[in-house]
Amino acid sequence: MSRLAAGGMVRRDRPVSFQFDGRTYQGLEGDTLASALLANGVRLMGRSFKYHRPRGALSAGVEEPNALVQVGQGGRFEPNTRATDLYLYDGLVAESQNRWPGLALDLGAVNGLISRFIPAGFYYKTFFGGPKAWLVFEHFIRMAAGLGKPPTRPEADAFEHRSAFCDLLVVGAGPAGLQAALQAARAGARVILVEQDRQVGGTICRDPALIEGQEGLAWAKAAGAEILAAGGRVLLRTTAIGYWDHDLVTLVERRVEAGQAPGLDGLSQRLWHVRAKRTILATGALERPLLFSGNDLPQVMLSTAVRTWIQRFGVLPGRRALVLAGDDDAYRTADLLQQAGAGVTLLELRQTTTVPGQPFPVLTDVKVIKATGGAGGVRAVEITVKGQRQTLDCDLVAMAGGFSPVVHLHMQAGGALDWHEADGSFRPVSPRQNQICCGAANGTAGLAETLAEAQAEAAAVLLTLGFNRPDLAPPSVQSAGSSGPGLPGLPLASHGRAKTTFVDFQNDVTLSDIDLAWREGYRSVEHLKRYTTLGMATDQGKTSNILGLTQLAALEQRPVPAVGTTTFRPPYTPVTIGALAGAAAGGHSAPRRRMPLHDQHQALNPLWQPLGYWDRPRAYPRPGETLHQAALREARATRTTVGLTDVSTLAKFDIQGPDAGVFLERVCATRVRQLAVGRGRYTFMLREDGLLMDDGTVWRLAEDRWLLTSSSGGADRMAAHLSYVRKVLAPELKVSIANVQEHWAAVACAGPLAASLIAPLLIDGAAPAHMGLGRGVLDGTPLLVLAASYSGERAFEIYLAADQSAGLWRHLADKVLAADGALYGLEALEILRIEKGHVVVGGEIDGRTTPGDLGMAKMLRPGGGYFGAQALQRPALQAPGRVQLVGLEAMGSVIPEGSMLLTAPGAAPEGHVTAAGLRVLQGGSIALGLLRNGEARLGETLLACSPTRGVTTPVKVVSTVFHDPAGERYRG
């Protein structure tokens, strides 16, 4: 056990039981998984991505690249969770990743032996060997790719989104953030303070200090309480993941830890959208590792992490420690280790020590050659001291490689970076939005300096926002030691084997990978990044980017800023997809629209089919009937007696005004204006590029009132299109458009008995002629009866107020069933229209066809002036050799849907089957298809070939109208 007898911010009276890789351990409340494992002497926490090398925790925070675990079970499973950013709870179940069969014995570790075969750019290189090489590599790559396993069950818990507004958003509740937020709260500003940890304090949690005479953590807690009391919001365990345009910052609030059951509200995480007038980014700095061979061994850690284990968690991770000092901050770690009872030697990487008179041994001018050890952790470090080789035994190595300000949010907000050679860091400059970096995030070292800076920045913000600020002096500070500047020119020089000197721990990118990529010509940082995958893992290179850049700069013999940086993209830390989806999951992921007659259909227990956002009955099967049997029965009834179907989802626009007819001729590519009152006709609309967009019918209800119908699925698009033509292209027209899609229900009654069935509803007692309209009434509800046929039979569409439609449906359904007819759904509708040769949006109108392709060129209005008319003149749309709509008659077996049309086996396809159906009454497989020069090829025999179904069958090219070519039936 490595738990110290006293100290730390853990509850020693509250043990917590958890499982790691199937074994049960005890930790304490307040522990992270990583600190609890270290306290239990578990140092091996994961295997690396590519070489499966043994790894322990490198850091004690969100930047952790190594100690990734999958947490939870079933619907609460989360992979790639950092053990250092996961607070212990009773019953936590975690498993290590990237190992098979076990963590201690991992067969994947042989990858390390063949590492010379999987160098930088390995994935890309596999593509150069031709398709055969890829087939060989693919299996291997897929086995090795990815980190954790994806969850297999749907999310069990709820996620929600919430929006908030404030004067000042402060990201990070370390000393700088607390001080700034406190000032603003005291001045009466609306403040939101965000902290990714579960407590405020930031670095104070690992580096105690006296602030205003108080113990630092007590000061921090009091500050947090005062902000709350002043009406501010303090969000703990909440990470600012992205800084977007116009000062929108998104936060992820973790209500429970990964894999943990939520409270009574069932809420797992909350995504906040915050718009603040100003945002202070007090996000701190992350320590960098040092480069030497074996720097990835377990127990080789960041120096600040060692202090965190001791101060925060009361865990002493090793008893024989070496502290590698790249900066003065290392001395704090050495000091603390010694106080905690460990043996310490400080290895000063600089020529001389800047902090003489230490109570522990200090060796200066040290070069680290390599660390040796194994899955149990580091055992020794080989160094040279003033050129003399030595080997030092140890069980812990602390690396103090200097600090990189956390500038991610600043960069996401469009800010720029400035290179500081003295401590090898990029600092934020030139903010583009209302963001202000403060404290260590701004490159400021020292607690007193940080507090003073936060004080000044907050004061400036309050002034610009018009608040009367309390004129306070920055708090007084006493702290042990301070972080000094790092190594001039960076502690980069590596003296050991480049192949085992790790730069990016999570993606297993070594110094030799960077060297190789550079030798192969990948000189740009953006190319280097993609070729080596440096910084492209889930940690986004938090500990590795600067090291990689510096190495590239050294190879290029250019200064670091000349080499440039890569882009920091949201999210700052990984976010579970559920949080982004919020409540918009499952049935809530898209709006579900219900037809006004939904309940009437549901009572008949139909098969439902989604159509756009709508659900429509596909068929009404009787007990024992298949979909196909039911649809055929419904279609046959429509052909022989009468059928009734609900077409309420059709797009419907009520268009009125003296220029309504003119407007319609701008939108529709057919003749419209000269239509007589009381008449309607088929029409279609083009896209801007001259291809067909949609089709429907247009009806003249009165001199200056028209009804336009178009396809159900295209209704929203058509509404936007009409608005565009009306407002942008033809604003001078006197016309108004009302979208009445959901206001008017519509049912279609079709078949030889349809006219006699609906005639009693009409005011004049007679059914209107084909493409004419009539007025009717039922129980006082006015009806609009349009004689339009899609099925090929005499048919009527009856429109009425949606909330009155149930009565009409019941009335007609009773009559239809009494006349031996049938209710029919979309499947029968499809069978009927295919036999009649009618086109459908999404089928033959597929975004590639012109009116000419579908045999409708003669309907185009001469003289143009309609939307898309000019582009239709493009030579490519007029050229011979385009596909044209044809009918296909089976000569052998049933024509498969979606078949290619070939002249001979193996020949190039000359078209395809768009819709396959059958002759409703006579039987026999038929289809519609698009065939090159189809109109001139009637009578030709082709092959319909469907490789996916394994069917090739001969078909004959015929006319598109299989049923009633003379049109006698629908005219009645």
Contacts with other proteins by CB under 8 A lie at 244-248, 273, 275, 414, 432, 666, 688-689, 720, 723-724, 727-731, 865-867, 869-871, 873-874
Tell me how far apart the alpha carbons of residues 701 and 678 are, in angstroms, rounded to a whole number.
6
Q: 191, 180, 285, 295: which is closest to 234 by C-alpha? A: 191
Minimum distance of other proteins from residue 328's CB (angstroms): 40
Sequence letter at residue 163: S
The reply to whether omega before 15 is within 30° of 0 (cis) is: no
In contact, 2 and 57? CB cutoff 8 Å: no
Minimum distance of other proteins from residue 273's CB (angstroms): 8
Return the number of the residue (162 or 971) whose C-beta is nearest other proteins. Answer: 162
Instruction: Report residue 442: phi and psi, to 5°.
Output: -100, 5
Cα 69 to its chain centre, rounded Å, is 22
CA 953-958-964 angle, to 5 degrees, is: 125
Minimum distance of other proteins from residue 247's CB (angstroms): 8
Return the number of the residue (873 or 941) whose C-beta is nearest other proteins. Answer: 873
Residue with tokens 């007038």: 277
Minimum distance of other proteins from residue 362's CB (angstroms): 51
Tell me how far apart the alpha carbons of residues 49 and 59 are, in angstroms, rounded to a whole number.
17
Tell me how far apart the alpha carbons of residues 492 and 821 are, in angstroms, rounded to a whole number.
85
Return the number of the residue (244 or 608) whose C-beta is nearest other proteins. Answer: 244
Residue with tokens 């247009």: 698
Return the number of the residue (56 or 242) whose C-beta is nearest other proteins. Answer: 242
CA 150-152-156 angle, to 5 degrees, is: 110
Q: Which residues of 920-954 are buried (b: 16+ CB within 10 A; e: fewer)?
A: beeeebbbbbbbbebeebeeeebbbbbeeeeebbe
Tell me how far apart the alpha carbons of residues 712 and 595 are, in angstroms, rounded to a whole number.
12
Minimum distance of other proteins from residue 340's CB (angstroms): 48
Tell me how far apart the alpha carbons of residues 326 and 401 are, in angstroms, rounded to a whole number.
5
Return the number of the residue (248 or 465) whose C-beta is nearest other proteins. Answer: 248
Sequence letter at residue 8: G
Q: 254, 211, 243: which is closest to 441 by C-alpha? A: 243
Three-state SS for 176?
helix
Return the number of the residue (8 or 415) whose C-beta is nearest other proteins. Answer: 415
Return the number of the residue (72 or 868) whose C-beta is nearest other proteins. Answer: 868
Return the number of the residue (113 or 728) whose C-beta is nearest other proteins. Answer: 728
The secondary element (H helix, E strand) that includes residue 698 is: strand 692-702
Tell me how far apart the alpha carbons of residues 546 and 565 are, in angstroms, rounded to a whole number.
8
Return the number of the residue (583 or 818) whose C-beta is nearest other proteins. Answer: 583
Three-state SS for 841?
strand
Return the number of the residue (248 or 891) whose C-beta is nearest other proteins. Answer: 248
Minimum distance of other proteins from residue 738's CB (angstroms): 12
Return the number of the residue (339 or 878) whose C-beta is nearest other proteins. Answer: 878
Return the number of the residue (414 or 782) whose C-beta is nearest other proteins. Answer: 414
The two structure tokens encoding residue 392:
């030092």
Tell me how far apart the alpha carbons of residues 710 and 649 are, in angstroms, rounded to a whole number.
10
Minimum distance of other proteins from residue 559's CB (angstroms): 26
Return the number of the residue (208 or 431) whose C-beta is nearest other proteins. Answer: 431
Instruction: Report residue 722: phi and psi, to 5°.
Output: -60, -40
In contact, 83 and 57? CB cutoff 8 Å: yes
Minimum distance of other proteins from residue 855's CB (angstroms): 24
Q: 441, 482, 453, 439: which is closest to 285 by C-alpha? A: 441
Tell me how far apart the alpha carbons of residues 957 and 884 are, in angstroms, rounded to a whole number.
11
Return the number of the residue (136 or 584) whose C-beta is nearest other proteins. Answer: 584
Minimum distance of other proteins from residue 590's CB (angstroms): 15
Return the number of the residue (729 or 818) whose C-beta is nearest other proteins. Answer: 729
The two structure tokens encoding residue 869:
């008319």
Minimum distance of other proteins from residue 873's CB (angstroms): 5
In contact, 283 and 438? CB cutoff 8 Å: no
Return the number of the residue (245 or 526) whose C-beta is nearest other proteins. Answer: 245
CB-based contacts of 644, cutoff 8 Å, min separation 6: 747, 748, 749, 750, 809, 812, 813, 816, 821, 822, 823, 824
How big is the chain, counted in residues?
A: 972
Exposed, middle or buried: residue 654 (CB in 10 Å: 0-12, 13-18, 19+)? middle
Tell me how far apart the alpha carbons of residues 158 and 76 are, in angstroms, rounded to a whole number.
11
Q: Which residues pair with 747 in a beta bridge?
A: 646, 798
Minimum distance of other proteins from residue 728's CB (angstroms): 6
Return the number of the residue (356 or 863) whose C-beta is nearest other proteins. Answer: 863
Listed in order, strand segments (DSSP E) in 605-735 are 607-611, 614-619, 643-646, 651-656, 680-686, 692-702, 705-710
Minimum distance of other proteins from residue 733's CB (angstroms): 11
Three-state SS for 436?
strand
In contact, 747 and 647? CB cutoff 8 Å: yes
Q: 94, 487, 550: which is closest to 541 by C-alpha? A: 550
The two structure tokens encoding residue 656:
């009125």
Three-state SS for 45?
coil
Minimum distance of other proteins from residue 727's CB (angstroms): 5
Return the number of the residue (350 or 717) whose C-beta is nearest other proteins. Answer: 717
